[in-house]
Amino acid sequence: MTTVHFVPSMLAALLAHADDDPAALDGARAHLRRIVCSGEELPRPLALRCIQALPSAQLHNLYGPTEAAIDVSAWHCHPDALATVASVPIGRPIQNIDLHVVDRRGRPQPVGVPGELCIAGAGLGDGYLGRPGLTAQRFPPDPYGPAGTRLYRTGDRAALRPDGTLTYLGRLDDQVKLRGVRIELGEIEAALRERPDVAEAVVALREDSPGDQRLVAYAVPAPGTSPDPVRLRERLRDTLPEQLIPASVVLLDQLPLSPSGKVDRRALPAPVRTPVTDGPAPATPAEELIAAVFGQILDTTGVGRDDSFFDLGGHSLLAVQVVAKLRRPLAEAGWAAVSVMDLFRLPTVAGLAEHTTRDTADHGPARLLHELRPARATAGAHLASVVCVPYGGGSAVVYQPLAEALASHHRLFSLALPGHDLGTEEQARPMAEVVPAVVAEIAAHVPGPVIVYGHCGVGSAYAMAIALGLQAAGRPPAAVYIGAMFPFARPKGRLLGLLTRLADRERLLGDRVFASWLTGMGVDLSGLEPAEVGAVIKAMRRDSVEAEDFYTDLFAGTPPRLDAAVISIVGDRDPATDLYRERYREWHAFSDHTAVVALDEGGHYFINHRAAEVAQIITTIHPALLAGGLQAEPDPNPSAGTWHVRGVSATTTVDLNLTDPTGDESPTGPHDEPDGIGPAAPKADQPGNRPTTPAPSMGRFAVVALSQLVSITGSALTEFAVPLWLYTQTGSLVGFALMATLGLVPGLLVLPLAGAIVDRSDRRRVMLLADCAAGGTQAAMLALLAFGRLDTTAVYIMIALLSVALAFQRLAYASAVPQLVPKRYLGHANGLVQMSGGLAQLVVPVVAVAALAWFGIAGILIADVLSYAFSIGVLLLMRFPATLAHSRRESIAAEIRHGLRYSLGRPGLRTMLLYFAGLNVFLSPLLLLLSPLAISQGDVATAGHVAVAAGGGALAGGLAVGVWGGPRTDRMRGMLRCAIALGACGALIGLRPSTAIIGTGAFGMLFLLAVVNGVYATIVQTKVPQRFHGRVFALNTLVAWSTIPLGFAVIAPAATGAAERWMAPGGALADTVGVLLGVGEGRGIALTYLVFGLCIAAFSAAALRHRVLAHFDRNTPDAEPDDLVGLAELQRLTATPAEQHADPSAGPGAERTPCSTT
Amino acid sequence: MFDDVTTFQVVVNDEGQHSIWPANRDRPEGWHAEGFTGPRDRCLAHIDDVWTELTPVSARR
């Protein structure tokens, strides 16, 4: 035999014989002239061994799939050539074959850039027998070849080398994603094979316990060697970055092969969870405790005293669990607590044990700053140190990716706030104590120059405080970078301060709400116990308050100045830094130089996923700024790149207390609110240049808010009272239902148009026009009433017009709030608006009934017209600042459209949508008919009482779900159970002719409705990435409300019409159902309540058993972190313009978010 | 290849072989629109229905 052709695995087997019996290959050595390998990758070490063992045989590496002439390329493994390559190339194409390396869009890749290998030419097979669709998929048209020819997509990755040969880089699906990081399994395999004591290697991503994904490497030792898997793993650190280090290395005698001789990955064994170390066992009680906890968390046994947590497969998330589990036992034993940072510094059992049993007096004061070192230490001249403060809820290690990205010339020190580590009982210390301590540590241990970085609320406050402290201590920082936040403060005036405190809903919000919000933002809490999560959130709240206090106090006086520039880094999709193009100048309160850099498609926690870009920014922007060469990039996207400078500003004078433009020169008096800086005037540095528009102020906002509250209450009064009045006049239920529909639907229909108009117009003008329209319709009604011409048709028309006007008014007002207030108070301002609106809703029914009784409909209309006169007057007198108002990112119509595409592609959301549509068909008549039922039971006053009960229920329900936060797990099932109870309450309402029962039922129904809505919001928050929330909510609102006309205008009147007849004395059901419900007027409505309530309960119970909804919580994965979605979107955006128009959220696959393709 | 494309068109060549191509791009020479467009999976399913003879036209007989 002179020529052999087989797969490399067989070659390995053949050569292995020689290890056992050196003479086994004698025959081969004598006769073999050619060895041809194909079918699998030929590892370089194997090729070298073959040449060594069989020097007179030529070795050829062939490549090719069955679908194209079996082998399409070849490379002769000449010993000299082999010495110069890192992996065995697959060579050049054979005759009549062309090989192309293409990118994801099918375009050729340049030399050296990996892509998918495609084969063209005569050797292509016709296709897969009986599988035309698969054939079409694997054989696309060939755009480079003769007309009508095809390519074959191999699914292999390859790259073109300069000499025209090709390198094989593994399968395309050998790229996996682990914890958000893309990993090339082939890279790890190659690194292992380079070890002299490794003959073959394969790496797989395994999930042997659900939710716990780990990289496992399998290695076959080189003959004559017995490597230690733990040492092997350690040595990988020389060449591979941290994320690529496998959790464990498993030694195998041989790799399992499939019948065709290739490696059978499915047959790879699950790693046995014992560390393959023969190291000494734990010796002391402390070591035993720590080893036991390691073993528990890592699901392994036999942990030795020298084993490192991270070598055993641990990572930072598990580290938090270890530290939390150790807390109580260590405390009980009287040993020192262990923090996450301690575990990072001393990862071995012995090291940690020694630390914890050392007499606490020897510990020295706990350090606040911890240096985070990159895995691969590189030498380089020290340029600067970066001091980082983590975001609320994060620990110091969140900056590890940034440390890795900064690598060579920068050292990174991260602040571990006391009392934030789950391992320690250490108490939190106030900012006023911590900041000077940090400044002292920086003076002692951190080499300069110092760049300060803080992320989000807490991070930004501490960062500013530390920067100010450094300045005062004579060591001014080189720059201050603030991520994802602008100043936020509380208004300090007496009245406003009190009101804001009352309106501070955040205090009332339960922990679970925070937890859901955190999960929605992509912070991973899944590994923590409830108690641990509670501790994290408690710390978050405290930090938040402290941070706000910091800014509030600073802005109340004159903040000290920094020499350094303050530069904002924001994600352009982060709602927390909306309006960043204006707001970054708020940092002029601290510095003369500011700028803002926006990350494309970045979310709120971009520090976790965009560390490389942040590293670039914090090292290049401030030098450019100080050199005077930094400019904002013009819109729209001009340059390539994933982040852009969006604003640069310099000022030489800062006037915190802007003089009043109408001429009053007095600075702020004790009863005035200090105004914010007026960012409207771009030339604020020119002395004597008075801003021509007023500055935003809380006072201005308060006046406008009050006037709007008055007019909105007025129209709510009208909306409540007029239908009631008409009903009492006509007794027509159909008319009542029609009126309710006309009061709701026109406003809804006009909403998309209104949104678009408001966004493009002067908010004040729209508010004025809307107020005039609203007031005008009511004045018209009043006039018609006075002339006795107010008939039902006129009322219908007026109500419809009013609905449209109100839609405009509310939209314009809501988006104008940011324009009116100094934006650091924006959170509180919105809270005030919400609170006042909610109270008004509650108060209106009572007042309306009373007013109707005392003053009649005329009185109400007069009051309403007057309220609008007031608010119009205020608007006419008030000038709005020229600051930015709130604009929608996309139009309401687009939002709904995109929400539709997003939801329709996901069975869970789709089914939930259908459920809500059905629910609302039954529910809306029940909400509508409360007043008529109550009137039939008593009179208009009764209607008022029932309305108050309902309003109270809604308020209480909203509060309850806010405090409770909804069920922690199984939210969908919990929500459906509440809906069943809701149906029961609805049925209760109709059960007896008693006001008390009606009121109780109404309270319960609205209470449960608020809870259902609250839980639904949590579901969307946790299952949908943050940036798509608006779309999903917009669509769901549309679906829910679109069934209301059906319920109002069709079902309710029809049902009640017939039902009233049946329940009249002597009617069809008088003797049966009527015994329980009563007979007479209104009992038909009661029957409707009974039936529809039971329908709601039954429908919800059926939904509970529906396959998709019953398993929704389990089958729908939690939302991917917003920033990962952004990263995927970034990759899409580098596609051709035509493909950009494709909707990113209409992704492939049912339950997955759009990034499954990465 | 074409990982980011959402809408495809079904195309046919003179040999009667079917395949798919991004809907908003010019077809390579020698390929005609069969008429069906839609998401990838639907196009492939359509091809499963209509492409009955995998042997190229010139090779038949």
A1034 and A938 within one domain: yes
Distance spanning both ends of chain B, measured CA to CA = 34
pLDDT above 70 for A979: yes
**pLDDT for residue A1131:** 73
Residue with the two structure tokens 């194909």 = A38
Which residue among B2, B6, B28 places its CB closest to the CB of A142?
B28
Neighbours of A690 (CB within 10 A): 8
Which residue among B6, B15, B20 places its CB closest to the CB of A140?
B20
- Burial group, residue A899, by CB count within 10 angstroms (0-12, 13-18, 19+): buried
Span A780-791, pLDDT tens digits? 988 988 888 878
- Contact at CB, B1 and A136, closer than 8 angstroms: no
A150 touches chain B (CB under 8 A): yes
Contact yes or no for A271/A242 (Cβ under 8 A): no
A49 belongs to a structural domain? yes
pLDDT above 80 for A994: yes
A663 belongs to a structural domain? no
Tokens found for residue A582: 């204006």
A881 and A766 within one domain: yes
**pLDDT for residue A209:** 61
A607 belongs to a structural domain? yes
Contact yes or no for A377/A411 (Cβ under 8 A): no
Over residues B16-39, the mean pLDDT reads: 90
In chain A, the number of structural domains is 7
**pLDDT for residue A1153:** 24
- Contact at CB, A136 and B51, closer than 8 angstroms: yes
Q: Got the DSSP string for A806-840?
A: HHHHHHHHHHHHHHHS-GGGHHHHHHHHHHHHHHH
pLDDT above 60 for A755: yes
A793 belongs to a structural domain? yes
- Contact at CB, A133 and B2, closer than 8 angstroms: no
Distance (Å, rounded) from C-alpha A129 to C-alpha A158? 28
Over residues A1053-1070, the mean pLDDT reads: 78
Which residues, other chains included, contact A1135 with Cβ-Cβ below 8 Å and sequence gap of 6+? A105, B4
Q: Which of A1085, A1095, A1091 is nearest to A1057 (CA)?
A: A1085
A373 and A359 within one domain: no
Measured at the alpha carbon of residue A1033, what is the angle toward residues A1031 and A809, in degrees to the nearest 5? 95
A155 touches chain B (CB under 8 A): no
Distance (Å, rounded) from C-alpha A72 to C-alpha A168? 13
Span A138-162, pLDDT tens digits? 899 998 888 889 999 888 888 888 8
Span A498-521, pLDDT tens digits? 777 766 666 667 777 777 766 655
Interface test with B, best of A149, A154, A904, A1156 (most B CBs within 10 A): A149
**pLDDT level of residue A60 (50, 70, 90 thresholds):** very high
**pLDDT level of residue A25 (50, 70, 90 thresholds):** confident
A473 and A498 within one domain: yes
Contact yes or no for A782/A776 (Cβ under 8 A): no
Question: In sequence order, which ranges of A256-376 are alpha helices (DSSP H)?
Answer: 285-298, 316-332, 340-345, 349-357
pLDDT above 60 for A211: no
**pLDDT for residue A218:** 92
Give the CA distances from residue A105 to residues A714, A967, A1131, A1138, B21, in Å, rounded to whole numbers and listed in that order.
Answer: 59, 45, 12, 12, 11
A499 and A571 within one domain: yes
pLDDT above 50 for A925: yes
Tokens found for residue A978: 């509440």
Q: Which of A1064, A1112, A1063 is nearest to A1088 (CA)?
A: A1063
Domain finish residue from A363, A389, A405: A363
A691 belongs to a structural domain? no
Q: What percent of chain A has pLDDT over 70?
A: 87
A253 and A310 within one domain: no
The 3-state DSSP class for residue A329 equals helix
The 3-state DSSP class for residue A415 equals strand
A913 and A868 within one domain: no
pLDDT above 60 for A639: no
- Looking at residue A191, which CATH number applies to its domain? 3.30.300.30
For chain B, which residues lie within 8 Å of any Cβ of chain A, measuring from their own Cβ?
1-7, 10-11, 13-15, 17-22, 24-25, 27-31, 40, 43-45, 47-48, 51-52, 54-56, 59
Nearest C-alpha in A relative to B46 = A133
Highest average pLDDT, of A425-434, A662-671, A1095-1104, comes from A1095-1104
A458 and A597 within one domain: yes
Nearest C-alpha in B relative to A108 = B1
Tokens found for residue A108: 């050729």
SS3 sequence, A958-969?
Answer: HHHHHHHCCCCC
**pLDDT level of residue A400 (50, 70, 90 thresholds):** confident
Distance (Å, rounded) from C-alpha A326 to C-alpha A293? 7
Phi, psi of A61 (to 5 degrees): -100, 120
pLDDT above 70 for A317: no
pLDDT above 70 for A527: no
The 3-state DSSP class for residue A527 equals coil
Mean pLDDT across chain A: 81
**pLDDT level of residue A675 (50, 70, 90 thresholds):** very low
pLDDT above 80 for A167: yes
Nearest C-alpha in B relative to A116 = B1
A680 belongs to a structural domain? no
SS3 sequence, A994-1048?
Answer: CHHHHHHHHHHHHHHHHHHHHHHHHHHHHHCCHHHHHHHHHHHHHHHHHHHHHHH
- Contact at CB, A150 and B56, closer than 8 angstroms: no
Q: What residues of B are in contact with residue A106 (Cβ under 8 Å)?
A: 1-2
A116 touches chain B (CB under 8 A): yes
What is the CA A565 to chain-centroid distance, rounded? 30
- Looking at residue A634, which CATH number applies to its domain? 3.40.50.1820
CA Rg value for chain B = 12
A747 and A607 within one domain: no
Distance (Å, rounded) from C-alpha A514 to C-alpha A965? 8
Compute the Cα dihedral for A467, A471, A473, A478 and give only its sign: positive
A1 touches chain B (CB under 8 A): no
**Strand pairing class (A212-221; A198-209):** antiparallel
Phi, psi of A1141 (to 5 degrees): -75, -15
Phi-psi region of A246 (alpha: psi -120 to 50; beta: other; left: phi over 0): beta
Name which residue leads in pLDDT, A109 or A516.
Answer: A109
Burial track B26-47 (b if 16+ CB lie within 10 A, e otherwise): ebbebbeebebbbbbeebbebb
- Looking at residue A11, which CATH number applies to its domain? 3.40.50.12780
Residue B18, min C-alpha distance to chain A (Å): 6
**pLDDT for residue A1151:** 28
**pLDDT level of residue A1055 (50, 70, 90 thresholds):** low
pLDDT above 50 for A679: no
Q: What residues of B are in contact with residue A142 (Cβ under 8 Å)?
A: 28
**pLDDT for residue A378:** 66
A1156 touches chain B (CB under 8 A): no
Question: In sequence order, which ranges of A480-610 are alpha helices (DSSP H)?
Answer: 494-503, 505-508, 511-520, 530-556, 580-583, 606-609
Residue with the two structure tokens 């020698």 = B30
A1082 and A969 within one domain: yes
A452 and A375 within one domain: yes
**pLDDT level of residue B23 (50, 70, 90 thresholds):** confident
Q: Which helix (H) or strand (E) holds A1090?
A: helix A1083-1105
Which residue among A106, A129, A148 places its CB closest to the CB of B1?
A106
A655 belongs to a structural domain? no
Task: Give A908-913 contacts, CB < 8 A, sequence gap 24+.
Answer: A908/A1023, A908/A1108, A908/A1109, A908/A1112, A908/A1115, A908/A1116, A908/A1151, A909/A1023, A909/A1024, A909/A1032, A911/A1106, A911/A1108, A911/A1109, A911/A1112, A912/A972, A912/A1016, A912/A1019, A912/A1109, A912/A1112, A913/A1035, A913/A1036, A913/A1039
Distance (Å, rounded) from C-alpha A172 to C-alpha A1036? 39
**pLDDT for residue A363:** 60
Domain finish residue from A363, A381, A397: A363
Give the CA distances from residue A743 to residues A729, A783, A890, A1037, in Å, rounded to whole numbers and listed in that order.
Answer: 18, 20, 27, 17
A334 belongs to a structural domain? yes
Least confident of A577-591, A849-863, A979-993: A849-863
Domain that holds residue A723: 698-888
**pLDDT for residue A724:** 83
A875 and A900 within one domain: no
Contact yes or no for A433/A464 (Cβ under 8 A): no
Distance (Å, rounded) from C-alpha A309 to C-alpha A314? 5
Which residue among B4, B20, B59 places its CB closest to the CB of A136?
B20
**Strand pairing class (A384-389; A410-415):** parallel
